[in-house]
Every structure is written in structure tokens, then in C-alpha cells.
Chains A and B, each alone.
Chain A
Amino acid sequence: MTETTFKLNGETRTVKGPHNQRFLDVLRRDFNLTAAKEGCGEGECGACSVLVDGKLINSCLLPLANVAGKTVLTLEGYRTTERYKMLENAFLKEGASQCGICTPGMIMASEYLLSHNKNPSDFEIRHALAGNLCRCTGYNMIIKAIKRAAKEGAALW
């Protein structure tokens, strides 16, 4: 049986099972980490976004084999941080979450953007969210929320 070891939300974990599993399934089934959702299963919608070695990744396109030795952060791990709290408050205040199915992915995409661009322009935010589809909001309130988080949380990123 193949074993794959990686760091998940700060802890070293080993999964027994085939390499050709989608990492999204591993997260949801083996670890009961269900914040990452399956929206399309083909890397278009971004609802399954997680951070791997600090980079935004669609976990539905990530074979377990490619996670070996990496450091994975899911929303469950991220939501204990100050940065998350800043984003959560900004999303609440701007009404950026409606049905909520895309929101976990949006939060991860926001973190990825702010982690390498502390003060993004509207244009940069729109393109940073290009891989995260939302059908409820029309995006404007999400963009406002990210701008608010960037402003109020300037010291955090």
C-alpha cells in the first residue's frame, strides 16, 4: 500500500492509499475537512482551493502523489489565524458571502493574493479571483471585502 506523508494544518500526516486520488477527496474523506468543496471537479470554480507550500491550488486537480513532502493549509487550519479573522470580518461587513459555497475558496484566494500583494488594486483583485467562480454576488462585494481587509489589516500581511 502506498503511503504519502505531508504536513496538514501544522501536523505531519500519512495517508495510505493510491497516488491517483484527488487530494480534495483525501481531505474530505480521510480527514473530514469539508471546507474545501467540489463545485466543478475540473479546476474552473476554485471552491476546492487550498494552499500548498503557500500557493493557491485547486485540490480537485491535485493528485495525492504531488502532495508528498508538502505543507498544506486548508481553511480549517487557516481560520485560527489573525489574518483569517480580518478577512472574516471584512466579508461579513461587506456582505461578501451569500450562499457561501464559494466562500471558503474565496478566502483562500484572498490570502494567497494578500500574501504577495499587500495593497492590491481592483484590477489585481479581479484577476486574482479569476479562478474562483461565484454565482450569487456578482463579485463586487467580495472585492470590497478584500480591499477592506487589506486596509484594516495592513500590518498582518
Chain B
Amino acid sequence: MVNTHRVTTLQDALRYLDENDCYIVNGGTDAMVQHRSWAETPVAFPKDTLFIHDIKELNYIEAMPETFKIGGTCTYESLLFHPGCPKVLKACLELFASPGIRNTATLAGNIANASPAADGLLVLYALNAQIVLQSRNNKRILPVMDMITGLKKTARNKDELITEIVIPTTSFTHSYFKKIGGRKSDAISKVSFTGLARVESGIIKDIRLALGAVNITVVRRPEIEQDLIGKKVTDVISMISDIKARYEPHIKPIDDQRSTSRYRKTVAMNLIETFMKQLAQ
């Protein structure tokens, strides 16, 4: 029998985390499925469990000129309805699961689970999001790419809580989000793609490509992006096959019950091409 503890303040949460090795449940939409047992019996969490979803002080969205900040217990649905929500994140959220899930699922929970198919995570990679981790005596900020360390692994220490996600405000001329699930809604991604770019006077000033469900974590390659910055979009068209070839070694999807490796790879490559062509339009 595991012990459970519910907190409503950040201070209590951090104290509890400092004193206990525990499993954290936020909205619960993943945790309740992963550890479900027979219907009508309690969910079998792996160890003592801390419920944090009702920490009110983390349930906020703060749209500032420089940053868009999302508190650790803020749900997807409240993000979706926030007028300041970045366009590409909104596009992702509209296709995310279903209203019932969005009303409890949190972006912080999505990060903590570090699933390679998590659509929210993909967008955070593209937006250069920063993750705020707080413990009783410390606070640190990690870029999302450093936060995710492997398949379902993160850099979070066991006494830390994801308290905030910070998205730097950036304007893009091109914003593309594509989710390919088994059906049009209520589905887990087979492949997902985010492309963002700022093109001024035909020159690429900023470009970011992120691909989901094609490797153990989200794929983003800053070195390839760097080489495209400063190029003319008209020149990029002739480079598409070269760009695809550079991404190719990083696209290593699996065969599973939802799709095939070949399909995921082919579509990932097609999406890179589609996005590159959009730039020239």
C-alpha cells in the first residue's frame, strides 16, 4: 500500500519532495493510465505519491512582451483559450487528445513524462522553451533540450518540481504544425512535425524544425538550422534533398502497433520538404 499526499501550496510540495522519494501526479491523465489496476480498485502507483494539481499558485499563464510563462499546474485547455498563446502551440493544442483530457492534462506533466510522441514537447523544442525546476533550496532553468535526457528520462532531480515553462516571445513569418495520428482527433501521434521560420526580404533569419515520434526523443538539429540562416529562400529550394539527407541519420523511428518505421521516416522526410517549400511561397 503506497502513501499518498496532496498539497495545495508550492512550499508544502517542495518540503514533501525534499523529505520523500515519491511519484508525482499532476493532472493524472498519463499516470492514471500507466498504473491502472483492475476497475474499482485503487490505482497502483509505484511508490508514495504526491498530488500537486491543486497548487493554485502554479496555475497561471503570464503573457509578457518578452516571454509567455506557463505555470506547472496549468491545463492544456486553459492554455488553448488564452489569447496570448503562441500560434504554433495553439495549433498543437487544438489537435491534442480531446477536451476531456485537455481539461486536466498539463504541459509540465507532458514534459515530466518525456514521451517521444508528446506533441506539446515537440512544440516546446521548436520554441526554445526553458523549464524552471524548483526544489526546497534551489531553482534552476534548463532549456527543454537539456531537460529531456532520453526515452522517458529527464534531468529533474527527485526533489525538484517543474514549476514553470518559459517561452521566449518570437515572431515568425512561417509557422507549421502537423500531427499524424491514427485518426483526426483523440489519437497518439505516429509522427509529428513543427516548423518555424522568420524570413525577411527573402532571407532566412531564423528557422527551427522539430520532429516527434521518430527517435527516442524529439529531434531538433541546431547545426543544420544554423547553416540555413542567412540563406536566400530561393536557394534553399535547390538544397532540399541535401537538407533531408542531413536529417536522415537522426530519423530512426520504430515499428509498433501504431505505425511502421518506413512510414514514419517517409512522412518525416516529406514534412521537411513541405515546410521548406512553404518558405519559398
Contacts and interface: CB of A to CB of B under 8 A. Distances in A.
Task: Note whether A and B contact each other (Cβ less than 8 A).
Answer: yes
A132 to B, nearest CB: 8
B32 A61 contact: yes
13 contacts: A2-B4, A18-B42, A19-B6, A20-B42, A41-B36, A43-B97, A52-B103, A56-B99, A61-B29, A61-B104, A66-B51, A131-B97, A131-B100
A21 interface: yes
B45 A128 contact: no
Contacts of B40: 25, 28-29
Given A56-B99, A61-B32, A65-B6, A20 B186 contact: no
Interface in B37-71: 39-43, 45, 49, 51, 53-54
A49 interface: yes
A68 B6 CA distance: 9
Among B28, B45, B98, the most chain A Cβ lie within 10 Å of the Cβ of B98
B243 to A, nearest CB: 34
Contacts of A52: 103
A28 to B, nearest CB: 8
A46 B126 CA distance: 31
Contact of A43 (B4, B51, B54, B100): B100
Among B29, B32, B94, B99, the most chain A Cβ lie within 10 Å of the Cβ of B99
Given A44-B186, A63-B25, A127-B185, A19 B4 contact: yes
A66 B39 contact: no
Nearest to B186: A130
B91 interface: no
A46 B36 contact: no
Given A20-B2, A43-B98, A61-B28, 20 more contacts: A18-B4, A18-B42, A19-B49, A25-B41, A28-B40, A29-B40, A43-B97, A55-B77, A58-B29, A61-B33, A62-B28, A63-B28, A65-B53, A66-B28, A66-B53, A130-B97, A130-B185, A131-B99, A131-B101, A133-B186
Interface string B69-113: 000000001000000000000000010011111011000000000
Contact of A131 (B2, B43, B51, B98): B98
Given A56-B100, A57-B103, A127-B94, A43 B42 contact: no
Interface in A114-136: 126-128, 130-133
